[in-house]
Each structure stands twice: as structure tokens, then as C-alpha cells.
Amino acid sequence: MASWRYGWIPGREGDTMKKNERETDETGDDESVVESVVNDVLPGMGSLVKNLRKRSPELDQKIKEKDREIKKRLEEGYSPEPTVTHSVKIRSLVPPGRKVAEERPENKTIEPITDIFNEGDELRVVVEMPGVTREKIRIALIGRSLEISAKEGGKRYKKEIPLPWEGKVSKERYQNGILELVLEQK
């Protein structure tokens, strides 16, 4: 049975073989890497592969290709870890040479995110106005309408909320950009 040997061979100190050289068995026939592996895994099956190679030129060609691939991997140092490559391509939606008009948010009034909870005889209104201090917030109840507005630095907020009845503010809290009002019916 032939086997692959790399580096030094026991019993033959000072005598080394190249990676591509193979030892042959007693008959002098070269055994491919595939045949050797098959014979090591399933003893006796290497000769079956050898006979099939002689009868099928296609199988012989496939085994030769696999032998070359295995030898190349052994020479290069095969790693089971996959090689991952990536790239990023960025493409502008604006055609080249055309300028995009800048929108200045400090000149624009924003309608703040608002949640309204009907709790029977009370309404709880929660308004998000980040970047504004409590002193800059204006709350006005006009008839059946609640108006909330604020202006600080470059930020402007304004929200008008229709109410189901005329009411008054019974509780008010402002913390971390969140205004919470509790309105009760007059």
C-alpha cells in the first residue's frame, strides 16, 4: 500500500522527500491521493478505484483533477476557514453636477409627536419636544381647542389639538423633552 510522506521519514535520517513526491508500493504502481484516502478509509477499496480508473477515462480525469487540487491545497496550506471579502459601493441619487437644495430645519415649524389618552372625565396629553426648556413652551386653551407651541434656538414646535369639551389644565409635568398635561372638563 502506498502512502504519502512529507518531511523526514523514520528510519531514513537525513533523507527527506519533497511534498510532491510519492512513495510507490511493491508493485511499482503510483497510487493517487484519492485512491490512498479511499484505501485508508475503506481498506481494499483503493484497488477498486484503480480498476475503475482504468476502465473509465472520465473517472480517471476527475480523479487526476482532484489529486491536483489536493496537492495544491497541501502546498499552500489549506485552511477550513472561508475567506470572506466584502466591499461597499455608494451611489448618489442626485445626478452629478446637480446641487441639492438644503432644507434648514431651524426655519421650519415641526408638529411634535403627540399622544392623547381619554381617561373618562380627563384627557392625558403627552407631547415630545426635545431640545426645548419648559420656559419656552406656551400652552393655550381656547374654547374646545388646545394649542401648544415652543421656540428655542433653531427649533420650533406647534400643535393644535381639538378637544371633545371645554376644559382646563389640572396637572402639568415637563421632563427630558416630554410635556405631559392632564385636562379636566370645566
Q: What's the pLDDT at 114? A: 95
pTM of the entire predicted model: 0.44
pLDDT: is 70 or 90 the higher one?
A: 70
Q: What's the pLDDT at 48? A: 82
Q: What's the pLDDT at 24? A: 35
**Would you state the cell numbers that stand for residue 135, as one nine-digit string?**
420656559
Task: State which H helix or E strand residue 34 sits in.
Answer: helix 33-41
Single-letter residue type at 170: S
Q: Strands, DSSP E only, in the chain?
A: 7-8, 16-17, 109-110, 114-118, 122-128, 137-142, 145-152, 155-162, 167-175, 178-185
pLDDT by residue (tens digit) across 81-140?
777 777 777 777 777 777 766 655 556 889 999 999 998 889 999 999 998 999 999 999
Is the pLDDT at 22 greater than 60? The verdict is no
| pLDDT > 90 in the chain, percent | 32
pLDDT by residue (tens digit) across 133-163?
999 999 999 999 999 999 988 889 999 999 9
Domains in the chain, CATH or no CATH each: 7-76 (no CATH), 109-185 (2.60.40.790)
